[in-house]
Amino acid sequence: MNRATVGNIVEALIKNGVVMELPVLQMNARPAGRPPIGLKLNPAAGCFIGVDMYDCRLTAVLTDFECHPVVEHLASFRRNASANVILKTVQQAVCALLEQSGKHKKKLGGIGLSLPGRINLKTGVTVEYYRIPHWQNIPFAESLSTTFKTPVFVEHNSSTVALAEAWNNHPQASGVVASILIRTGVSFGIVQNREIINSGTYSAGELGHTVINFQGPLCRCGRKGCLETYVSGAALARITEEKASENPGWPGAKALQNSFDADLICGLAESGDPISRDILRTMFRHLCIGLDTIMCLYAPDIITIDGIFNKAAHLLHEAIEMHCMPSLLINTKICIAHYDNKTGAVGAALLAASRVCNPLHHLLQ
């Protein structure tokens, strides 16, 4: 395109409120011709919604046009909830965000869903999720797009976390960013040049269901010795319960009150509690098997570790240095993220924004 064409396009974007002008810092030697004009996306040009679901909980955010969170909504449902109840919970979350957002209500550009389990990425239908009995063949994309008259995009939650990490926390990384997400299970997503790598029909990323010991504990998927039976939120809760019964008076037993508190075990381990340290050191040794696998297969520039173990970052770094293959660590930077429950939801909003605004995506469908 010549300069005039570019100028016309920019003028149209400014007129339509998509792009806004910014003052430019004075330069010592300004080039001849018209003075330069700074440009950026206009945050008020519209909004996107991202919904992240795991176990029986969801976090939903409404973002501005730059995908910065404006409003947040939390919700949950029972483990035996029907597919209709799960769908209704998501719909109510979107409605709540739109009602709270007010001025953004008429400018919704799209909805992104960050979901667990196996997903048909072409249709936006979930196939299965072992933890919720009725999580089968739920038409999330069709239902929400019909209700809210807007495009809906569905991805595995590990991929949306990787997308959020690449855009917001590692914007300087032009290569491959991988994210390991540890919550109730273990999964990983991978992004290259800030685009999710997933060209298949079905979602990938179930790192937790790679078998590391054929004689190991029975996994919820029906096989034995999956990685997540050794290192995950579910594994940590199970092992904490075993240690509490063996060691009366152990302060870690308090983690079992109400909903399981992984932060308590991590805090005890970092402060020197021997039982908690032993639990996490064993878990992190197994996690390093997954790290080595990702580095061998993908050689990412950055691996982020998100989820329940961020409060024990010192011990985790120690385990990585001790157990991961040194030659692999030379070219891969490993970052333990300051995880919060909005990361996946913001990544889902970024997914919607990139798919709506990038014409190339539509050409590849």
End-to-end CA distance of the chain: 26
| CB of 244 closer than 8 Å to CB of 253 | yes
Range of lowest pLDDT (35-44, 48-57, 122-131, 198-207): 35-44
Which H/E stretch holds residue 184?
Answer: none
In this structure, is the dihedral angle defined by the CA atoms of residues 140, 141, 142 and 145, taken in order, positive or negative?
positive
d(CA 112, CA 48): 8
Could you report the per-residue pLDDT of 175-196, keeping only the tens digit for each?
A: 899 999 999 999 999 998 888 8
- The CATH classification number of 45-162+343-363 equals 3.30.420.40
Q: How many whole angstroms separate alpha carbon 112 and alpha carbon 98?
A: 15
pTM for this structure?
Answer: 0.87
The ranges of the chain annotated as CATH 3.30.420.40 are: 45-162+343-363, 171-336
Q: Is 272 strand, coil or helix?
A: coil
159-176 tens-digit pLDDT: 999 999 998 877 776 689
Which overall architecture, per CATH, does domain 171-336 show? 2-Layer Sandwich (3.30)
pLDDT higher at 16 or 364? 16
Write out pLDDT tens, residues 250-262.
999 999 988 899 9
**83, 151, 75, 154: which is closest to 114 by C-alpha?**
154
- What pLDDT is attached to residue 103? 56
Token pair of 330, please?
């030379």
